[in-house]
Structures are given as structure tokens and as C-alpha cells.
Structure 1
Amino acid sequence: MSTMRIAVAGTCGLATIISKIIQEHTSHQLLVLSRTPQPTLTSQGYQCQTVDYNDPSSIQHSLMGVDTVISTVTGTPQLRLIEAAVQARVRRFAPAEFEGRPSLRPVGDPLDRGRAAALALLQHYRAYIQSTVFVCGILYERFAVGGLASVGIGISSGAGGEGDYVLDARNMTAQAPAYSPSGGYTSISMTSVYDVGRFVVRALDMTSWPAELTMCGERVLVSSLIQTVKQCRGRDFTHVQWHNLGTLNYELTLAQLAGDHARQRRLQTLIATVEGRYDFAVPGALNTQFPDIQPEPFRNWFARNWVGVP
């Protein structure tokens, strides 16, 4: 594949990993877009451009000559980034998704964070710019020491801390969304941030992008996930609440009555889990497309991440 100019918008953990893989393992020209100067990245040889998302001309100028934009910014800044990309004749755009399948999200999704508006805008401009949604399910790092926030993700989401999703591996407690509305058992598809980065970068070399590209490190039952953590920690869980959709909606009502917004956000994520929004068939499309990429199994990742932690 010929060398392309790739712009990565954002400097969160995922953006940094994608940028590092592009910089160190491809011949593509990388441009990092950031709201603030990045002297550390610049000193490491990265080309960085400070952009003002309130100034469309600033964004458009930064994107001149760019073939593909990978976005990790959300809300209004991402909408302006899409508009500028179209004006600058960028060929492809990957919006800040990196989670479940958008088609499974309900209208008015409380977890939306402006993503539906970005997809609608890309659909509006589909004749001018190609796009794909990278679907990776739940990130392993939700179960990391420090949670998603430990890799600079989800800091303002209300569910990015250690123990905010399904289980608290330090205190060995869990709120397990284990039973699906159909009466079966809930499964989730999961991928580590690093493996997401590897798949995304390899997808840059595809001649065309479909509307959606899935990837998966491992697909597990929620109950099996809890068992794996128990075995890796060598400790029993002291308290596990086994949930279905009804009990989660009841807990959500209590959180709403109490005005507990952080708990609401955590419960909404668990509700999305029992509804199957983070579950999809494996192997993913990118796993099949690039079989040489072997994602790290969750058990190995978790044991390595928690080694030495009491």
C-alpha cells in the first residue's frame, strides 16, 4: 500500500497507542491533532498540530493533504472535524466509537455522548467521504488497575474508574449483568486497547472500508468473566449481585430518585450489556482479514495487569 498521510485527532490513551503504532510500524506519515501543544510527543519525533475546534478554518488547514482521519474526540469538536475533513477532501474518516455496534443503540441512548450525530453527519456526506465504525466491544482496560482512566480513557464518562463496570477486582465485589432479556446468559466481546490499535492501523491498508469493522480479543459469558477474575486473583468474591434487565431497571430508578448521576451511568452501561450491545459474533471481520494479529487472551492480560496487587 502506498504511503498515506494519517491524522489522529486526540491524545488519549487509545489515540496515543494508534499514533505510536503508525509511527513505529508503518511508512505512513502521521499527524497528531491536539487542542494543546504536545512538547513530549514533538520531542519524540511526532508531528503535532494544535487545532482550535471552535475555528473551522484552523481544522481545515490542518487536514490539507490528509488521506484518513482517525478521531478520538467527541461531541461538537468531532462534528466540526467531520465538516473540515469534507472541505479538505479527506478520503476516509473513522469516528470516535470503539465500542459496540451502533445499530444496537436505541434512539435517545443516554450513553450516546454525541456519537449518533457524528454518524448521521457522515451518512449525510457519504458521497464525499468514506467512513467506518471500529467495533471492539468492551475494552479489557475497564478491568485494569485504575480502570479505563489508567490509560486516559473515559475520565469524564462517569464509568471510567476502577470497579465501575461489572466487577471490582480489588475489593472482589460484582454487579453481574448475567441474564439476557431472552432468558439466556449474557455474553460480551472484549479487546485490549493495544490490540484495538493494531487492528485499526492494519485497516489503514485496506483499499476500501465497509460501514463497520469488528474486532475481538475474546468473547465470554459474564459469569465466566467473574470466574476468571476469581481464579487469577486467587480469592473468592465477597459479594456478587446477579442481575437481569428488570433488576437493573429497578436499581436505575432508585439511582434517578436519589439524583446519583455516577451510579446512573454505571447502571446504564450494565443495562446496555444485558441488552447485548457489546456482544457480536467472533471472529470479528478484522480478525479474519488479518489472521497474523493474535489478540492477547483476557486471562493473560488480567493476570499480568494485576500481578503483585494485594
Structure 2
Amino acid sequence: MMRIAIAGSGGLAHFIAYYIHEETRHETLFLSRIPKPQLAAQGHQVQVVDYNDPESLLFALRGIDTVISTVTGPPQLQLIRAAVQIGVRRFAPAEFDGPPSLRPNPDPLDRGQAAALAWLAHHRNSIQSTVFVCGILYERFQQGGLAQSRIGLSSGVAGEGDYIMDIRNMSAQVPVWMADNSYATVCLTAAHDVGRFVAKAIDLPQWPAELRMCGERVTVNTLVQLVQQLKGTTFNPIQWHNPASLRSALILAVSQHDVPEQWRLQNLIATSAGRFDFVQPNLNAQFPAIQPLRFDDWLSRNWELQ
């Protein structure tokens, strides 16, 4: 039995902790900036930490084998430093996105991930690490958006309708084409399936550089058509974009100092560049008993379309 520290207490951390508790014999410990009596009431261990206080982190990480982080920026860097210092065996940084190799440099969507990966690479002889790659979370398209599940609150696209489709009002900005005029493709995964795969990965004897999972891989065009079919109506208005039109829209948003629109457009640009598309999801292959939820089934349940 190992002790697993989960940094953060948002929705994704909850999914991961739930499946570690239900499907493994390991203990979990939430690292939180503030007390979480509701988690304690559910039987979870919670340690309040101050990410600006190294001693607080070192105390919290005593006896911890693996850290799974859902916090970004300077707090995550401090957590990595403490984990290395106290001898934590493995660390999974807050990724849960597309493959890092597909990101531009500099990355307009970076929230400290590049620095965290650089730190872990620097300390690779002291601590093992992996990047959990899942593409786009289904929850971007749920009622209330990512924020409803308390995921990605600092991402700039956590609200309902912030990414590609506003399903409630049936409007859309669709990054349908890539630079070579082929259809843009995305990999998508439900957050609870991310939790299931991460829980299984805990017991792998070695972690490769990336552990990939995917619920469904589809073109953005197919995704839009599927939503229209399930809703029984078409998006109106709908804007079809290629990289050039998205860059033009971004220039306008910058000139108007429209920061929320800039975040939305940067995510669409990343989609049209193929950042959320990948093949060979090794976790799916490693754990074939996990049958990820299909996007159409998930959407029908979330929006009560059945």
C-alpha cells in the first residue's frame, strides 16, 4: 500500500481520489490551501498546506510515495522542489491536456506547465515523472462548463460555451480546418475516465514520459454535426474557421482589449493546430477492461437529450 498525495481539491482531484480509493488499496491525501471539512466528512485525509512555506510542504509530504498535481504555476514548482528534497518517488504534474511536444514556444496557453516539466526533467535522476495526456475533457461541453465541476477555473475557458460550441444557445465558433485545409481532429475524454486511468497507472512499475488516454477521437466537424443531431437543431449563428481567420479574429480581440475573447480564440487556434490530437493511447491499450464513455452518450445524459 502506498500513500498518494493529490495536490488541489477541485473536480479532477476528486475523480482521481475517488477511483484510487475504490479500485486500489492505496491511501490518498488531499493537499489543500484551506480546510476542507466536507472532504474529511467523506472519509478523506486532508492536509492544509502553504505553498509559500517549504516546511509546510515538506511536513505534508512525509511518507508520500507519489504526488499527483492539479495545481499550476509557482505553487506547483514549490511542490516539486519539496517532493525532490524529501524523496518522493514519483510526480505527475498538472497536465491533463494534449501532448506537450505539440505546444509552441512560447505557448500563449501556458500556466506554468513548461516550467514544471523543465524542473522535473532537471531532477529526473531523483524523481520519476509522467505526463497524463487526455486531450479535451468532455466537461468543457457540459451545462455550466468546466467550472460546474470546478475544473480549469484559471484556464480562461471554464465557462459554459467558452470552447467551440454554446450548446444552450446553439451558437458556435468552429476551428474546423488546419493549415493544410484538412479537418482538425481532437481527442476527448470524460473526467471520470481520467480518474479511472490515473488510478490504474499508480500500480505500473515504471512510468513512461507520457501516459495517454482517449475516450473518443473525432474531427471537430464531426463533433459539431453530432451535437446538432442530438439536439435536433442547427447552430445559428455558426462561424467556420481556419488558422488564418482565427488569427485575424485574435488581432481584433487584442485591439479591443477583450481578454476573455483572446483566451477563447487561443484555444481555438491550438485546436486548429492539432494540439489536442494524438494516437496510440497507451493507457487504453494497457487497461482494455476500462471502456471509456462515448461522447454522444455522455452528452445525451448531461443535456438530458434522451
Asked if these proteins are the same fold (TM beyond 0.5), I'd say yes
1:185-241 deviation digits (Å, cap 9, x = unpaired)? 100000000000100110001000001111000001101101110111111211211
> Is residue 2:299 matched to residue 1:302?
yes
284, 287, 297: which one pairs with 2:284?
287
193, 196, 205: which one pairs with 2:194?
196
Secondary structure at the residue paired with 1:64?
A: coil
The 4+ residue runs of structure 1 with deviation greater than 6 A are none
> Is residue 2:169 matched to residue 1:171?
yes
Aligned partner of 2:68: which letter? I
TM-score (norm 2): 0.98
What is the CA-CA distance between 1:308 and the residue it aligns to? 6.2
TM-score (norm 1): 0.97
Q: Distance in 1 between matches of 2:202 and 2:82?
A: 20
Aligned partner of 2:83: which letter? A
1:151-178 deviation digits (Å, cap 9, x = unpaired)? 0012232211111001110111111100
* Matched-pair contact (CA < 8 Å) for 2:66–2:89: yes
242, 245, 254: which one pairs with 1:244?
242
What is the CA-CA distance between 1:31 and the residue it aligns to? 0.9
1:6-46 deviation digits (Å, cap 9, x = unpaired)? 00000010001111111222210111110001111111111
Q: Distance in 1 between matches of 2:223 and 2:162?
A: 15
Q: Distance in 1 between matches of 2:20 and 2:199?
A: 6
1:253-272 deviation digits (Å, cap 9, x = unpaired)? 00000000000000000000
Larger deviation, residues 139-148 vs 150-159: 150-159
Q: Distance in 2 between matches of 1:152 and 1:186?
A: 28
Name the structure 1 match of 2:72: 74
Give the superposed CA RMSD: 1.0
Name the structure 2 match of 1:26: 24
Unaligned runs of at least 5 residues, structure 2: none
Name the structure 2 match of 1:180: 178
* Matched-pair contact (CA < 8 Å) for 2:230–2:305: no
Give aligned pairs, total: 306
- Percent identity over the alignment is 58
Q: Distance in 1 between matches of 2:174 and 2:83?
A: 41
* Matched-pair contact (CA < 8 Å) for 2:231–2:305: no
What is the CA-CA distance between 1:53 and the residue it aligns to? 0.3
Secondary structure at the residue paired with 1:175?
A: strand
Name the structure 2 match of 1:133: 131
Q: Distance in 1 between matches of 2:28 and 2:154?
A: 27
Secondary structure at the residue paired with 1:270?
A: helix
Unaligned runs of at least 5 residues, structure 1: none
Q: Distance in 1 between matches of 2:41 and 2:169?
A: 40
39, 43, 46: which one pairs with 2:44?
46
